[in-house]
Amino acid sequence: MLASHVSSYSFENNSVKSRLRRGIAKDIPEKIWRTILASVPIACVDVIAYRRVDSSIHVLLGYRKIYPYRNRWALPGGGIIKKESLCDTANRQLEEIGLNPTGNYRLVGVYPVDFKLRSDISIRLCTSLPPPQEPQATSELSRYVWSLLSNLPPRLGSNYGSMLRDFGYRLPGARVTRTHSIY
């Protein structure tokens, strides 16, 4: 059923398709690419870049211009390219937005994410970035905020809340209430 839905979908203005095809699947014929999207999860790395300011944790969020999560806050990240390690992918994603990653990452978790037209396997890594690094706007992310982990903005992509809570659980000294709020 999903395969027939995908094949009838017009990809002409779908920037997710163009993004993935630009870096990951640019040589795959369109019909095969649609079958892949309908059948196989895309492996992605999302990076929780954070800073400690006094006793507070701030996480980097970008406001997405493209699907999925268009007009929502999201973590920097993207697809894994063949022969690329998880750390290489995370470094590339941070460098693409103008940051200088340290290359030191910790695994937060692995999360299946279902979208309307595809599924991802999101591997969440975290890294501490020292100030004064500030990201630059890209074709995918229009602006950024260093958000307090305890006060995430509205319009956060639907899967990021639980992932950021998992990140908060793993931080030394982080306190989590029964309702999973981090403060």
CATH code, domain carrying 82: 3.90.79.10
Count of domains in the chain?
Answer: 2
Tens of pLDDT, residue by residue, the chain (183 residues): 323 333 333 333 344 444 454 455 667 888 888 888 888 888 999 999 999 888 889 999 999 998 888 999 999 999 999 889 999 999 999 999 999 999 999 999 998 888 887 888 899 999 999 878 899 999 999 999 999 998 999 999 888 888 898 898 777 544 433 333 332
- On whether both 36 and 68 belong to a single domain, the answer is no
Token output for 70: 């268009």
In sequence order, which residues have a C-beta less than 8 Å from that of residue 8 and are 6 or more positions away? Answer: none
Q: What is the pLDDT of residue 172?
A: 59
**Residue 66 lies inside a defined structural domain of this protein:** yes
Following DSSP, what letter does each residue of 33-58 receive, concatenated? HHHHHHHSPEEEEEEEEEEEETTEEE
Domain that holds residue 154: 41-170
Torsion sign across C-alpha atoms 82, 105, 126, 61: negative
- On whether both 59 and 94 belong to a single domain, the answer is yes
- On whether both 30 and 110 belong to a single domain, the answer is no
- On whether both 125 and 86 belong to a single domain, the answer is yes
Q: What is the pLDDT of residue 113?
A: 87
**Residue 115 lies inside a defined structural domain of this protein:** yes
Q: Answer for the pair 174, 182: CB distance below 8 angstroms, yes or no.
A: yes
- On whether both 67 and 2 belong to a single domain, the answer is no
- On whether both 72 and 32 belong to a single domain, the answer is no
Can you say whether residue 32 is alpha, beta or left, with left for phi > 0 and alpha for psi between -120 and 50 degrees? alpha
pTM of the model: 0.77
